[in-house]
């Protein structure tokens, strides 16, 4: 049985889809949820799903190996970023080489980097009059949105799309593909 840790900062819709995907599985399960935002919706998901959760303390996250120890003690096989807004520190990336993945709501390398998350991405894509957007699932390295791409999926942007309607199209792709990629990586 493989153990998945999810790092999130918000409501946790991708976390819920991954939990649902592995419900009843004998291959893997989400066994730990970590979040850097007190009161975030992902904590409610963790409580409802009876999954242990931890509030990440910024100073400890960036200046110690405490969270590496927590992940290792929990025998985590894969770290999944699901709307986690902090850059992962190098010591954590090095402790889990090619075992930390992220999903980005655009077709990287476009519309990535510091500050490019959520509605900021969709606003920029619409403002640039792009004809397509999508998701990029990638490995995490020491830079924002820079790790090797695992999968990109696209959606068409129509002239009447708004950042809000684009966000919904992208979220459909996220919910469909992220759990499948998590499963695939755990079987490698």
Residues recognised as catalytic: 104
The whole-angstrom distance between residue 157's C-alpha and the CA centroid of its chain comes to 23
102 is in an annotated binding site: yes
The answer to whether 12 is annotated as binding is yes
At residue 77, φ and ψ (nearest 5 deg) are: -95, -30
Q: Is 60 known as a binding-site position? A: yes
Has 13 been labeled as part of a binding site? Answer: yes
How far is the C-alpha of 34 from the C-alpha of 5, rounded, in Å?
A: 7
Report whether 9 belongs to an annotated binding site: no
| Torsions phi, psi for 159 (to 5 deg) | -60, -25
Query: Which residues contribute to the annotated binding site?
Result: 12-14, 60, 102
Query: Which residues contribute to the annotated binding site for (6R)-10-formyltetrahydrofolate?
Result: 60, 102
């Amino acid at each position: 049985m493989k153990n998945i840790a999810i790092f999130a900062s918000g409501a946790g819709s991708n976390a819920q889809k991954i939990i649902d995907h592995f419900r009843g599985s004998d291959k893997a399960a989400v066994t730990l949820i970590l979040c850097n935002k007190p009161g975030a919706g992902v904590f409610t998901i963790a409580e409802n799903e009876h999954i242990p959760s931890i509030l990440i303390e910024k100073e400890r996250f960036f200046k110690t190996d405490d969270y590496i120890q927590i992940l290792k003690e929990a025998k985590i096989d894969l770290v999944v970023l699901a709307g986690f807004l902090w850059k992962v520190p190098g010591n954590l990336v090095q402790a889990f080489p090619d075992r930390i993945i992220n999903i980005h709501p655009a077709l990287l390398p476009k519309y990535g980097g510091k500050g490019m998350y959520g509605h900021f991405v969709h606003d920029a894509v619409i403002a640039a009059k792009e004809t397509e957007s999508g998701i990029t699932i990638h490995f995490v390295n020491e830079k924002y949105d820079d790790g090797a791409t695992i999968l990109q999926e696209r959606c068409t942007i129509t002239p009447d799309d708004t950042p809000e309607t684009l966000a919904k199209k992208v979220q459909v792709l996220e919910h469909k593909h992220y759990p499948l990629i998590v499963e695939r990586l755990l079987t490698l």
